[in-house]
């Protein structure tokens, strides 16, 4: 089985002590491809160097997270543009809006989001969008600033998910879909055309059941894929193959 983790923070501090074991467990559990998410310049450079050993298996994304809006400046945006222009970087993200932690700087977050969408369009790469307690503003910005990409850890309604898909965006679901109170995630999964679904861990966060409360890692993707396949009424093998096709299309490797 060739599983996909479209969102993994494996260069975060939580993996510093056992990074190579984490990568080995992912391989042993059939995790075929991993998008490494980076939100710091040095982290991005480390991930790029690492990904060169197997560029098909490891993709890299870099962007300024909305929680970091107060440290964003012209120089940092220049570095974002420089790094995401590199051929080793596949996507711009995660970027977006987060009013859960910081609504005070909502206007600054919006401007930062728009600037990074512009950068992504300039380098012709997809965006990975974070939206927490800010779904309508996120949607409005993405409608007015068209790009291509995915909604990471999607927490909106099924109806909103359908609207994003109509605009060509993919919907990524993770460990929350396995939780006992996962009604909204499962409704989204049922409503979305399977050609626009992606699997993710968002590790080290959001571990799926039965591992909830522990550090998450890419090796846990099979729990998520199994739950989503069941929700879609698909055989696991068929579902996983569809996710592979979706991920390749998302990356621009095929355009069917």
Report the CATH number at residue 51. Answer: 3.20.20.140
- Indicate the range of 14-18, 31-35, 181-185, 244-248 predicted with least confidence: 181-185
Instruction: Tell me the pLDDT band of 17, cut-offs 50, 70 and 90.
Output: very high
Instruction: Tell me the pLDDT band of 182, cut-offs 50, 70 and 90.
Output: confident
> CA separation (Å) from 250 to 79, 127, 158, 214?
24, 10, 21, 30
In a domain, 62, yes or no: yes
**Which pLDDT value is given to residue 102?**
81
**Which pLDDT value is given to residue 103?**
86
Tell me the pLDDT tens digit for each residue of 84-113: 999 999 999 999 999 997 888 999 999 999
Q: What tokens does 109 get?
A: 């977050």
In a domain, 255, yes or no: no
Residue ranges making up the domain that contains 125: 3-250
In a domain, 256, yes or no: no
Tell me the pLDDT tens digit for each residue of 42-76: 999 999 999 999 999 999 999 999 999 999 999 99
Specify the DSSP element, H or E, that contains 199.
strand 197-199
Instruction: Tell me the pLDDT band of 132, cut-offs 50, 70 and 90.
Output: very high
The residues, ordered by sequence, that sit 6+ positions from 209 with a Cβ below 8 Å of its Cβ are 175, 178, 179, 180, 223
- Mean pLDDT value across residues 179-195: 94
The residues, ordered by sequence, that sit 6+ positions from 122 with a Cβ below 8 Å of its Cβ are 81
On the question of a cis peptide bond just before residue 94, with omega within 30 degrees of 0, the verdict is: yes
In a domain, 83, yes or no: yes
In a domain, 22, yes or no: yes
Tell me the pLDDT tens digit for each residue of 157-174: 999 999 999 999 999 999
Whole-model pTM? 0.96
**Which pLDDT value is given to residue 57?**
98
Indicate the average pLDDT of the chain.
Answer: 96
In a domain, 82, yes or no: yes
In a domain, 36, yes or no: yes
On the question of a cis peptide bond just before residue 210, with omega within 30 degrees of 0, the verdict is: yes
In a domain, 40, yes or no: yes
**Which pLDDT value is given to residue 24?**
98
Cβ-contact 159, 193 below 8 angstroms: no
Q: Using the 8-state DSSP alphabet, how is residue 203 labeled?
A: B
Domain total for the chain? 1
**Which pLDDT value is given to residue 254?**
74
**Which pLDDT value is given to residue 255?**
57
- Mean pLDDT value across residues 209-223: 97
Checking if the pLDDT of 256 tops 60, the result is no
């Amino acid at each position: 089985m060739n599983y996909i983790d479209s969102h993994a923070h494996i260069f975060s501090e939580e993996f510093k002590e056992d990074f190579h074991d984490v990568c080995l467990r992912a391989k042993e559990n059939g995790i075929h491809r991993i998008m490494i998410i980076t939100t710091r310049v040095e982290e991005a450079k480390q991930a790029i160097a690492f990904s060169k050993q197997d560029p098909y298996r490891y993709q890299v994304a870099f962007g300024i997270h909305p929680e970091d809006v107060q440290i964003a400046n012209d120089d940092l945006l220049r570095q974002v543009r420089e790094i995401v222009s590199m051929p080793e970087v596949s996507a711009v993200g995660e970027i977006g809006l987060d009013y859960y932690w910081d609504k005070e700087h909502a206007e600054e977050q919006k401007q930062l989001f728009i600037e990074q969408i512009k950068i992504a369009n300039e380098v012709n790469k997809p965006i990975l969008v974070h939206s927490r307690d800010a779904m309508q503003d996120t949607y409005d910005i993405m409608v007015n600033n068209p790009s291509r990409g995915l909604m990471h850890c999607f927490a909106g309604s099924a109806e909103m998910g359908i609207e994003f898909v109509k605009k060509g965006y993919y919907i990524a679901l993770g460990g929350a879909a396995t939780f006992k109170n996962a009604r909204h995630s499962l409704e989204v999964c049922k409503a979305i055309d399977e050609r626009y679904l992606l699997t993710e861990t968002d590790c080290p966060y959001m571990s799926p059941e039965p591992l909830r409360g522990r550090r998450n890692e890419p090796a846990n993707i099979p729990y998520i894929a199994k739950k989503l396949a069941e929700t879609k009424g698909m055989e696991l093998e068929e579902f996983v193959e569809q996710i592979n096709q979706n991920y390749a299309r998302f990356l621009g490797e095929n355009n069917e």
